[in-house]
Amino acid sequence: MGRWQELDHTADLALHVWGGDLKDLFVAAATGMFSLLAEAAPAGAPVRFELHLTALDAESLLVDWLNELLYLCTTEDVVGTEFLFTVLTPTELHAEVVGLPAGERRAGIKAATYHMLAVVAVEAGYETEIVFDA
Amino acid sequence: MVAKESFRRVGACSWELAKSYDERMQAPARIYAGEVLFERAFGDRSVEQLVNVAMLPGLVKYAMAMPDMHQGYGFPIGGVAAFDYDKGIISPGGVGYDINCGVRMLTSQMDYEDVAPHLDALATELYRRCPSGVGGSGAVSLSWGELNAVLDGGSGWALKYGYATAGDVARTESAGCLPRAQSAAVPDRAKARGRGQLGSLGSGNHFLEVDVVDAVYDATTADIYGLRVGQVVVQIHCGSRGLGHEVCTQSLRQLQDAPRRYGIPIPDRELVAAPVGSPEGQAYLAAMAAAANYAFANRQVLAHFVRLAFEEILAGKVPDWHLDQLYDVTHNIAKVEDHTVDGMQMRLVVHRKGATRAFPAGRPELPAVYRTTGQPVLVPGSMGTHSYVLAAEPASLELTLGSSCHGAGRTMSRRAATRAVRGESVRAQLKEQGVAVRAKSMRRLAEEAPFAYKDVSLVVESVVGAGIARKVARVRPLAVIKG
């Protein structure tokens, strides 16, 4: 299981994210981001999306992943609640995302940024810090 | 971490970090700030971010930070960096996601006493007519064809459709239209987000404010700007909404490989860059300029709806309720400008990330009315506090390539602010001060609490002390509309 923690940032929002493997890291980053954005509405039918992404490396893939989710959230007004990967390598992902209608918005996030981004392999898996433009 | 001792004082309000500090630096780094704000700059990572900017190739003069500097992502907020058009780079990280976020000020012929009895009704009407909030649709919905016309035409589009006067357009930076804009360079996805959002404030620190002028410092300039003590004015602060965010996101994605291909060393991936003249650099310039035009049109459409709100509430109750435009400035932008650097004429791409252009008297880009005074520099304070109108001074060209501060600048994170205060009490405090507040979200009010920002007067005194601009007038808020 991955986990995440919000970090203080003067103007924007930031998360420290840990995962036992890349999948855990990507799920924790997405869950963390949605926790900053909004709660799911108390009632509503789930919506399913499929995402296929390729990128240069794990950092780019992570930013693409979060920005794709952000785009879905903004245009479809949903928050992602389940993230299932059929393919996840440092340069490619295929995922099915389940979303629920968004409730009250906590924050407006413009984008996940690449600022000083590094997906670092550690003994327990991976960790990274992500800054969001809010 | 950069220590403040590494900087050398080079003026009353200017501090320099020598290029020799890090062998990767292409030019020195400069901070324009009085002692208090200079010291405070070391409280977050903004100085490290400034040093990163100084490492980008083709940098001219210095990597600069204005006194309202604070930590951003990539560039510090309050950062200015200019690159040689022929040998330098352009970087989306030097503009940010809210392309052409900026401020507009409208002036009225009314005094505070005229408006005071109607303030609550006016605040409600402004809130109703000028949509705000996260996501949030705008007052105008556009077909794909019309959206392209907005992207290519900016304020000119608004003039054609009756949302602007010719005076508004003339009194907008770059006449509200950047010439290199190409709607075709904007991704469809960005357009999809922008179609429904024209004429909306958005959230975060964006606002609409009714203010009263409470001090005039330079009577001659104030007269030319059309400002006098007791007069009611309006400020609009917003940008290019989801369209701009998407243009930046897509551009950064496309440029991720550019540093490797062009051999550009970058200290931070958010600072990915391409040579200005490369296909990637030109594509970003065209898309960014188009998003900037959308933002000019957005503030123009909002100004139109502000005028309708004033008419709705004040017509027949005051002799004259119309609003003129003082100026509209952009503070997240990269612009192609000609400057004299060490006696040489150079074409530059000036990135201003949370910094306002401050062109002095005589610059040909200024509308005729401001050619003897220098351009108005609009410096909004935090919610509930003063804002300032400055005039650019001649030294600004030499000091900062014609750039100034853009606001108060945050000093406390949104999270810390929401832990420290509730939105309801911020609203109650403002009401006690006589400020009517209409806000979509109480949480946003807490995040934007005045104590989360620097004291705007310290920022302004730094800019004045450095010789970048002079004070013309100060305003205080009467009504605030927030997302």
Number of structural domains (chain B) is 1
Establish if B238 belongs to a structural domain: yes
Structure tokens given for A112? 């996940």
Establish if B261 belongs to a structural domain: yes
Please, which residues have CB within 8 angstroms of residue B176's CB and are 6 or more apart in sequence?
Answer: B154, B155, B156, B158, B164, B168, B169, B293, B296, B297, B300, B328
Question: What does the pLDDT read at residue A43?
Answer: 83
Please, which residues have CB within 8 angstroms of residue B342's CB and are 6 or more apart in sequence?
Answer: none
Which residues of chain B make contact with A113, given a CB cutoff of 8 A?
A: 73-74, 270
d(C-alpha A58, C-alpha B121), whole Å: 53
d(C-alpha B11, C-alpha B209), whole Å: 35
Question: What does the pLDDT read at residue A74?
Answer: 85
Which residues of chain B make contact with A8, given a CB cutoff of 8 A?
A: 413, 415-416
**Residues pairing with A54 in the sheet:** A92
Structure tokens given for B462? 């730094």
Establish if B422 belongs to a structural domain: no
Establish if B269 belongs to a structural domain: yes
User: Which residues of chain B register pLDDT less than 50?
Assistant: none
B97: distance to nearest CA of chain A, Å?
A: 7
Please, which residues have CB within 8 angstroms of residue B453's CB and are 6 or more apart in sequence?
Answer: B381, B382, B385, B407, B408, B409, B410, B411, B412
The reply to whether A77 touches chain B by the CB within 8 Å rule is: yes
B3: distance to nearest CA of chain A, Å?
A: 19
Which pLDDT band holds residue A107 (cuts at 50, 70, 90)?
confident
Alpha-carbon Rg of chain B, whole angstroms?
21
Number of structural domains (chain A) is 1
Please, which residues have CB within 8 angstroms of residue A119's CB and are 6 or more apart in sequence?
Answer: A22, A25, A58, A59, A62, A90, A126, A127, A128
Amino acid symbol at A125: G
Q: Which domain holds residue A56?
A: 3-133
Closest by Cα among A10, A2, A6, A16 to A37: A6
Amino acid symbol at B134: V
The reply to whether B246 touches chain A by the CB within 8 Å rule is: yes
3-class DSSP assignment, residue B48: helix
Do the strands B29-32 and B59-73 form a parallel or antiparallel pair, or are they unpaired?
parallel
Report the residue of A110, A129, A131 to disrupt the B interface, i.e. the one with the largest count of B CBs within 10 Å: A110
Do the strands B14-17 and B29-32 form a parallel or antiparallel pair, or are they unpaired?
antiparallel
Please count the residue pairs, one from chain A and one from chain B, whose beta carbons lie less than 8 angstroms apart: 97
Establish if B416 belongs to a structural domain: no
Residue A16 has pLDDT above 80, yes or no: yes
d(C-alpha B243, C-alpha B196), whole Å: 10
Segment A47-86, tens digit of pLDDT:
999 999 999 999 999 999 999 999 988 888 899 999 999 9
- For residue B205, the domain's CATH number is 3.90.1860.10
Which pLDDT band holds residue A105 (cuts at 50, 70, 90)?
confident
Q: Is B343 left (phi over 0), alpha (psi -120 to 50) or beta?
A: left
Tokens 């100026």, located at residue: B327
- H or E stretch including A102? strand A92-105
d(C-alpha A94, C-alpha A51), whole Å: 6
Question: What does the pLDDT read at residue B248?
Answer: 97
Question: What does the pLDDT read at residue B1?
Answer: 85
Contact yes or no for B135 and A106 at CB 8 A: no
Angle subtended by helix axes B241-255 and A58-76, to nearest 10 = 160
Of B192, B203, B253, the CB nearest to A108: B203
Structure tokens given for A16? 């420290």
Which residues of chain A make contact with B270, given a CB cutoff of 8 A?
A: 113-117
Question: What does the pLDDT read at residue B190?
Answer: 97
Provide the chain B residues 262-291 that lie in CB contact (below 8 A) with chain A.
Answer: 268-270, 272
Of A10, A74, A108, the CB nearest to B71: A10
Contact yes or no for A116 and B70 at CB 8 A: no
Q: Which domain holds residue B264?
A: 4-86+101-411+453-482
Contact yes or no for B443 and A106 at CB 8 A: yes
Q: Is the pTM of this model over 0.90?
A: yes
Q: What share of chain A is helix, strand, coil (3-state, %, to 5)?
A: 25, 45, 25
Establish if B225 belongs to a structural domain: yes
Establish if B426 belongs to a structural domain: no
- For residue A115, the domain's CATH number is 3.55.10.10
